[in-house]
Amino acid sequence: MNYKVTIQGKTYELPARTLSVDDKIESVAKIDQDYRSGEITRREAVQRLHMFVLDLAPGSLPSVEEVDTNELMKACEDIIAAYDAPARKARMEAKLAEAREALNRPEVQKLLTLQNLKK
């Protein structure tokens, strides 16, 4: 599977979603928890997020001292969204298939026909 993300107007191809990548994604969620609980400073949180992005999309951001922290947060969210997109699409397609199946049942079709006759 191919995963791509656009960071600061440039598109980067992400590595395959391996267990190692899953561990990195999980660590991003932990960064926020650690920061909120006071276990790490804001600087440490930014440094870890910066490393996450550069590990998966090398060269995509300026140095940690120069990076816009909002751009950094957006890059993290976009990377995670890129990896989650195939699963989200599959879930949506499964739900649409269920809805189509329900709408095609004879009893539902009869109700729809009756409703259209009343108009």
Give the Cα separation of 28 and 84 in Å (integer): 14
pLDDT of residue 6: 98
Query: For residue 67, which of 43, 103, 94 has the smallest C-alpha distance?
Result: 43
Q: pTM, whole model, 2 decimals?
A: 0.78
Question: Domain residue spans in the chain?
Answer: 3-91
CB distance 57 to 79 below 8 Å: yes
pLDDT tens profile 73-94: 999 999 999 999 988 887 888 8
